[in-house]
Structure 1
Amino acid sequence: MRRKIIEYINTTKNIEEAIKTSIHLGNKLNKDIELNIVVENAAASSLAGATPLTAASEAQIQQELLLEISSKAKEVVNKYEKDTADLNIEIKQSTSSLDYLIKEKSREKDTYLIILAQDSFRVDVSLLSFFDKFAQLAECPILRLPSDYTFKPFNRILYASDFLEEDIEKLKNLINIAKVFRSHITMLHISEKEDSNFRNTLDFANDIVQQIDYENIEVKTISSRDISTGINNYAHNNKYDLVVVLREHKNFFENIIQKSQSLEITKDSEKAILMFHELN
């Protein structure tokens, strides 16, 4: 049984490009696809505006939205029938919370990758709580697509790195994706001030690269007053197709005191973001 790419969709906005991305990745990576249409209670309430909803009315609106989005998803899948001949594509519907769905799905052994297809997932409060759970529990990487995303092959990949030993296993996982696109990978380290140990840092990074079975990879290090802004600007100015970040493993109190650079990058980036968890 092949592992799956699971994509969560909550709107018809840009749904064709979102599904095309899953289809393309499924073919390239030899994975099946599960399109999960999600309409939470908040979506029904927002359509009603200031009008209070009864439980029955809310449920009816949810079902109507599920039907509308699912119908559009089926239409897109049928449109690309020639590209899906070797794929098993399943469309599911849910009114459960996104947090719960992703938490559970990320634990399943056959889940290879989760895709979040719209910016509404990114800015919604539920996503922030989800990322807190992801930092502790998730067992698969997540790909976040901006709402205006148009798929193109990941020819240029920017890997934001602290040049740590943890990078080795993550890079090995990334290579599985990079190889099918023949991607050029840049390992980029950004410091907020001049690094007095610059040479040692660079040497250690090159040692990491030597342990990776991939030739088309380079190491860069630059300084910026703000790490997340520096990475996003570098990705934009150098036309990268994908930015990869490593989600830091922090305890509850560390998350309160310190901001997560990986979440800051994800929050502000115009690029597709692939996030690995430090522990998976």
Structure 2
Amino acid sequence: MKKILVFAYPFNQIERIVDYSVRFARDLGLPLEFVHVVEEPVIPADPMTSNFNTGGITADTVPNDFVENRSRVLQKVLSIKNASMEIPVSYSFKVVPGSVQILAADISSRNDIEMVLVPNLPDQDSNQPSIDLIEGTDHPVYAFPLESEYHPIRKIVYASDYNEKDMEVVKHLSNIARKVVASITVFHVNKDDKYEAHLKNDGFREQLEQNPALRGIEVTETKSEKIVRGIKDFSKRNYADLVVLLKENKNFIREFFGKSTTKDLVKDSPIPVLIYHES
């Protein structure tokens, strides 16, 4: 069975991260793997304090007792939280020295990961590690607002260009939707009245109807001059619990959304954002 890998950062918010992750994994019926990366050239004395440094450090520069202390804290928080759940989840954890870049490369090389769960912090500088993971790994990345409590997913909206590459994403989303009993709406943000979106819309809908597992998925479009604003407004009007994007690995979804859409949407989204990478 594949697992959800949780990027356990920042460490001073570990209880909130654990609470959200355990509830999310329970609803999806998947095990969890928590990873906390120590990237601090000067190790603080307090194991609950975390300042991020993207330069990373080598294993021999991290005191063993510091790694052990954080491991004990993480184990304790996980044990207490899981014991309080009516349906406990399976989990593992590790605290390792290194960097986000190293972690991203390791994640991309693995085939046992369903998705990566990262906290979305309100401060842009503090949120850079999560953005680095979104850009650095090939697996789907689920970014959730750290300041929000977990709410069951009942409405999923997928911002699409109605292309063939979107079908694989929709198929994967349909598996998630069945587990959490959610509806799916695929929508296109139309910036230009001359853009013949309805033609692509009709073809995309036909492809969905041809697959019995995808019937019932709604397909529509919305008008907005600004893509990010259009996605946010559509999500809000439709009371979405999760918004989904397809990000091109090298071009930051440049063909349709523009180079900064993913980062702009993630940095202050009030709801979780699930980012897929084009295969």
Which residue in 1 is equivalent to 2:227? Answer: 227
Alignment partner of 2:193: what SS? coil
Spell out, residue by residue over 1:190-210, the C-alpha distance to the aligned partner (whole angstroms, 9 max, x if none). 022214414313212312322
Which of 103, 106, 109 aligns to 2:111? It is: 109
Confirm whether residue 133 of structure 1 aligns to residue 136 of structure 2.
yes
Q: Where do residues 171-250 of structure 1 align in structure 2 (5 Å cutoff)?
A: 171-212=170-211, 213-250=213-250
1:47 offset after TM fit, Å? 7.1
Encode CA deviations 1:224-247: one digit per residue, 9 max, x unaligned.
111012101221343211111101
Unaligned runs of at least 5 residues, structure 1 = 49-54
Q: Partner of 2:99 in structure 1?
A: 97
> Would you say the 8 A contact 2:143–2:273 is kept in 1?
yes
TM-score in terms of structure 1 length: 0.79
After superposition, give the CA deviation of every residue in 1:81-134 in whole Å (9 maximum; x if it has no partner). Answer: 253866331121022111211221232111111111242797444554444433
Give the TM-score of the pair, scaled to structure 2: 0.80
* Cα RMSD, aligned residues only: 3.3
What is the alpha-carbon distance in structure 2 between the residues aligned to residue 69 and residue 122 of structure 1? 27
What amino acid does structure 1 have at the position aligned with 2:231? Answer: I
Larger helix share, 1 or 2: 1
Alignment of 1:134-153 (within 5 A): 134=137, 138=138, 140-153=139-152
CA-CA distance at 1:159 after TM superposition: 0.6
Match of 1:81 among 76, 80, 83: 83
- Structure 2: which 5+ runs fail to align? 52-57
Cα distance in structure 1, aligned partners of 2:120 and 2:74: 15
Count of aligned pairs between the two proteins: 263
Q: Is the 2:71–2:95 Cα contact (8 Å) retained in structure 1?
A: no
Contact 2:122 2:267 survives alignment (8 Å): no
> 1:10 Cα deviation (Å)?
2.0
Distance 1:245 1:218, change over 3 A: same
Structure 1 contact 10–69 (Cα < 8 Å) conserved: no
- 8 Å Cα contact 2:134/2:275 also seen in 1: no
Query: 1:15 touches 1:73 (CA, 8 Å); kept in 2?
Result: no
Structure 1's 248 and 86: CA in aligned 2 closer, same or farther, altered over 3 A?
same
